[in-house]
Structures are given as C-alpha cells and as structure tokens.
Amino acid sequence: MNLRPTRARGTVRHLTTGAVLSALALSTLTACGGDSGSAEASGYSGEIGAVDLSDVCPATVVVQTDWNPEAEHGHIYELLGPDPKIDAGAKKASGPLFSSGEYTGVDVEIRVGGPAIGFQAVSAQMYTDPDITLGFVDADQAIQVSSSNPVTSVFAPFEINPMMIMWDPETYPDVKEIADLKEKEARVLTFETDTYWRYLTGAGILDEGQIDGSYDGSTSSFVADQGKSAQQGFVSSELYVYENDLPEWNKPIAYQLVHDAGYPSYKSAVSVRSGEVEELTPCLEKLVPVLQQGVVDYLADPQPTTDLMLDMVDQYSTGWVYSQEQADYGLKTIRELGLVSDGTNGTIGDFDPARWERLIELNRPIFAEAGIEIAEPMTPETVMTNEFIDPSISLGY
C-alpha cells in the first residue's frame, strides 16, 4: 500500500500497512484464545438512578462494535459514564453504564471492531468470545449466519443503512446509480465479509466479476486507480474525507445508497446470541430502552461523546484517523438523510418486519446459490424482535 502514516486529526480515514498487520496479529491472538480480555469492574459506586440494571443484567455489559469510534457509533459510547478507562492495547473502553446522566448499577465495555479484530464478522466474534453481551450485526448477515452463528437483533440504531457505493463523476459522468457501473465493468471494492454485494450481483445490478473483496478501509486503492474503481463506504463519512480531507483526491464523489438500490438491510443492528434471548430477557427489557435513549441523548448533545471518541481514536492507533470535522459532517448527514430517525411510527430503534421479510426473500436464492445454508423455517421472528422496544422513546422530529 502507498499510505501516509500520519494520524493527525483533520486528515484522512485510512489504515496504515503497519496498523493493519498489528490489528490482524491482535485478532489472531484473540480468536485463538477465545477471549479478548475479561471485563474489569470500574469500581464506580454512585447512586443508581431511575433505571436499575444491577439485578437483571451482567455486571459488565460487553458490546462488540463493527468499526472504530465514529459518529455512527456515538449512541453506544454515549452510555459510558464518568472517567471511562481506555485500554489502548486491547482496543476497548469501559466504565459505569449511564443513561441520561444517571448510573444504572452496571458497567459497560465497548470493544472496537474492523481492523482491531482482523475484519472478522461480529457474529463470528460473538461466538468466539462468550463474554460479549451485544454485537453490531447487519440484518442480512444475521440471516446469512442463522444456521452457523445464530443471532437475534433487538435494536436498530439506523433507520436507513448509510452504506453506499461511490465513484468518480469525472471518470464516469453518465453513471447515475450503482447499476450503471455494470456496463462500465468498473471494479467495485468491498469488504469480503459484507453481505449486501451478494444482492447486487445476485439481482444482476453488478456482475460478480466486478467485486473485489480486498477493501480494508484504506483510501489507497481508490486513489491509485485514479477513479477507475468504485468503492463501498458510509455516506456519512467517506464523502467528507474524499472531498475535503484527502490531498491526493480532494474533489467531488458521486454515490448511491445501497438502500436506494433496493436493499433495505438494517446496518449494525444490536444483537444477542439467539440461544441467550430467554436468559437475557429480564435484562433486555430494561437495557434496550436505555439503548434507545442513548440515541436520543447523543443526537441532542453530541459533543461530549464526540470528544471521548476522538480521544479513543488517538489512543487506539489502529490507523483509523478521525477528526472533529468528520464527526460534524457525519452528524449533519445522519440528520439530513434521515439515516437515524423515528421512521413512520414515532419510535426510535424498532424494526419493520416487512423489511426483514423482503431481505429474506432477496437473499434466500442468493445464499442458496452460494451454498450458504440458512435456518429454516426462516421468518423475521427467527432473527429479530421488537419485544424489548419502548414505543414511547422518540427523537421527536
């Protein structure tokens, strides 16, 4: 790779070669040992507020995210109470779990995904490490692993998936949507573990030969190709980086959301191992509304949590670079595009079963052709539930 090794804020979202190798080494040790480090008690002993999780939840609620700290994950870092401990070596942060400024009686530990776990799917990581309570699992991936690593999604932080395919409008001036890239035979850089691209190829929107699963989150391949390749990314992140924060590029990017290409998956749905739903029900009945409230509180006053995430990014040193400007852009885009919203029913964080039904319908033949066995009978209730959602919690706009 030809990557700049800088980590200064206000630069670019990328991964350095050394950082990728270090992350892969760390993830190998984690996977082999089956333990990424037992959760440690924070020692916090403040008064418990309106929500008491101490008698129903694990003493430490461990959350495995799917990427580095960023605005899209602010809702989960919002839960960290005073003076959280940042463990740069283990790529995790822990502290008392707070909701709306009040202690809940338990701790929370938030672990970084992506390069920190060797780009392993979170669902696989959840079955490697039984300490994990909650994991960020895309809805389509939950369907894909329903036989091998079954998970049940309990909370949707996104109403609309921020995943996009982006391309250079100078190279492809007549490309208006993802499907137009097929005729151009453009290489499309994706994460191999992601599932959405199987829909794009299975539905004939792209040819399978166009897919290059070697994308690692860096900017190098796209820039080196001088716009000939298309690439996946978050509309709330990469657009800012490539247009404003990448001297090697610094020009406009065109894109289409995968959601708008007909694939209504929920991104980074908070999930539990399916076999533990019953056991965790008393916890989830109280914890899921806390997760809902975390979204509301973060969007109402994001800066304290943003400051914390920027500090984490600096300390973790995975090669991921994040700035205040990127965070501001992310929040602005999240709001403007309705990526996080109350949907049509005035409730934050719930699922539309009809969208899951559509995902199942789209993916069943695609997975079958790929030799991927899914659980049968497969219904939305196999992989998701709104049982723990509090319908009264809303963004209010």
Report residue 2 CA to chain centroid gap. 26
Per-residue model confidence (pLDDT) at position 169: 98
Per-residue model confidence (pLDDT) at position 15: 45
Backbone dihedral region of 122: left (phi > 0), alpha (psi from -120 to 50 degrees) or beta?
Answer: alpha
Whether 139 and 177 map to the same domain: the answer is no
| Contacting residues for 368 by C-beta, under 8 A, at least 6 apart | none
Helices (H) and strands (E) in the chain, counts: 13, 12
Q: Pairing state of beta strands 269-273 and 151-155? A: antiparallel
The CATH number of residue 212's host domain is: 3.40.190
Per-residue model confidence (pLDDT) at position 38: 57
- In this structure, the number of other CB atoms found within 10 A of the CB of residue 57 comes to 23
Flag whether 121 is in a domain.
yes
Q: What is the pLDDT along the chain (397 residues), one digit of tens a residue?
A: 222 222 222 333 334 333 333 333 433 333 333 344 456 688 899 999 999 999 999 999 999 999 999 999 999 999 999 999 999 999 999 999 999 999 999 999 999 999 899 989 999 999 999 999 999 999 999 999 999 999 999 999 999 999 999 999 999 999 999 999 999 999 999 998 888 999 999 999 999 999 999 998 889 999 999 999 999 999 999 999 999 999 999 999 999 999 999 999 999 999 999 999 999 999 999 999 999 999 999 999 999 999 999 999 999 998 888 999 999 999 999 999 999 999 999 999 999 999 999 999 999 999 999 899 999 999 999 999 999 999 999 999 8
Per-residue model confidence (pLDDT) at position 302: 98
Q: What are the structure tokens assigned to 317, written together?
A: 């040193």
Separation of alpha carbons 330 and 244, rounded Å: 13
Whether 249 and 277 map to the same domain: the answer is no
Q: Pairing state of beta strands 60-64 and 102-111? A: parallel
Q: Which of 243, 261, 279 is the last residue of a domain?
A: 261
Flag whether 3 is in a domain.
no
Whether 191 and 334 map to the same domain: the answer is no
Whether 45 and 152 map to the same domain: the answer is yes
Flag whether 397 is in a domain.
no
Flag whether 4 is in a domain.
no
Flag whether 364 is in a domain.
yes
Domain that holds residue 179: 163-261
Whether 101 and 153 map to the same domain: the answer is yes
Per-residue model confidence (pLDDT) at position 42: 85
Whether 33 and 149 map to the same domain: the answer is yes
Whether 152 and 301 map to the same domain: the answer is yes
Flag whether 226 is in a domain.
yes
What's the CA angle centered on 154, arms 61 and 296, to 5 degrees? Answer: 80
Q: Which of 261, 296, 330 is the last residue of a domain?
A: 261
Q: Which of 234, 261, 288 is the last residue of a domain?
A: 261
The CATH number of residue 271's host domain is: 3.40.190.10
* DSSP element (H, E) containing 234: strand 230-234
Whether 205 and 189 map to the same domain: the answer is yes
Flag whether 140 is in a domain.
yes
Whether 136 and 58 map to the same domain: the answer is yes
Whether 221 and 274 map to the same domain: the answer is no
Cβ contact 94:87 at 8 Å: yes
Q: How many domains are there within the chain?
A: 2
Per-residue model confidence (pLDDT) at position 14: 39
Per-residue model confidence (pLDDT) at position 272: 98
Report residue 155 CA to chain centroid gap. 13
DSSP 123: H
| Contacting residues for 320 by C-beta, under 8 A, at least 6 apart | 13, 14, 15, 19, 67, 68, 114, 115, 217, 313
Whether 234 and 328 map to the same domain: the answer is no
Separation of alpha carbons 296 and 302, rounded Å: 10
The single-letter code of the amino acid at 93 is A
Whether 152 and 170 map to the same domain: the answer is no
Flag whether 390 is in a domain.
no
